[in-house]
Amino acid sequence: MKLGIRYQVSGIRLASVLLVLFLATGYWLLATDVIAQSPTPEATSPAVQQLREKVKEIVREKIEEVKMGQKRAFFGEISQISGSVITITNPHGERQIKVSEDTKILSIGRKEIKLQDLEIGSFVIAMGYLGDNGILEARRIVVIEKPKPPAREVAFGKVTDISAEEKILTVKNEKKGITYTVVVTDKTIITKKGETKIEKVNFSAIEKGDRVVAIGTPTENETKLITAKIIHVIPGKAIGQEVTPTPKISPTPTPKSTPTPTPTE
């Protein structure tokens, strides 16, 4: 299967080379014809020669780009450096980056550094050309600040208000005395406790009085506004109802008999 894909990619690249050559040749002939119609003392004037060199340069660049592969960019944390190959890790898995003499490496302060200056754990963005082997031939590597993990906040409480049109819940945690505003998006996953199992439901399944656990991204200010990623609903009847305690009957203590004193003579 991989061999077939490789042949297909090679065929695409060959077609690209032929297309570049065809366009360059047409441009060359058109330009030569225009110059030939102008009053030039010699057929091989400096203008014609300069144009030919320019066309050759364009063709060389295009062919080189086709040979190198498609332009790509990888980002992630450096997990390994082996010789001139850097391995980075990101949410998509591991990626390998090939460093050559032409690779320009920049630090966080945008100063040019060497390969040996890179460290395990650093975050980088690598730009270059992706080869058939899946290795990126890097032309530029930039060290960046380690991205901060997105903040998460958990809101637990009772639904006191629902705005169906805007998909916004007002959730009050009576124990902590905090009221949350929970924003629901199309990407929010909502589950609800059923009679026998947990079910995935829509926003319309949430009712006033339900208890919810909402996990999401809080706003930067002091307001308790959360854009929910996950919401789990516990129906109001399942939790929170006051139950009148049944009085327990205490056993009546049995009176102990007091011994009758024996008269002494």
Per-residue pLDDT, 189: 96
CA 81 – CA 95 distance, rounded (Å) = 12
Say if residue 26's pLDDT is above 90.
no
Task: Pick 212 or 48 by higher pLDDT.
Answer: 212
Q: Domains plus CATH for the chain? A: 2-65 (no CATH), 71-144 (2.40.50.140), 153-234 (2.40.50.320)
Per-residue pLDDT, 53: 81
- When pLDDT is averaged across residues 158-167 and rounded to a whole number, the result is 92
Say if residue 265's pLDDT is above 70.
no
Flag the least confident range among 2-16, 25-39, 214-228.
2-16
Per-residue pLDDT, 243: 43
Say if residue 252's pLDDT is above 80.
no
Say if residue 239's pLDDT is above 50.
no
Task: Pick 224 or 189 by higher pLDDT.
Answer: 189
Q: Please, what is the average pLDDT of the chain?
A: 78
**Cβ(156)–Cβ(234) under 8 Å?**
no
pTM exceeds 0.85, yes or no: no
pLDDT-based confidence at residue 1 (cuts at 50, 70, 90):
very low
The closest of 229, 135, 233 to 185, measured between CA atoms, is 229
pLDDT in tens, 120-134: 999 999 999 988 888
- Cα-Cα-Cα-Cα torsion 34, 37, 39, 43, nearest 10 degrees, comes to 80
Per-residue pLDDT, 262: 54
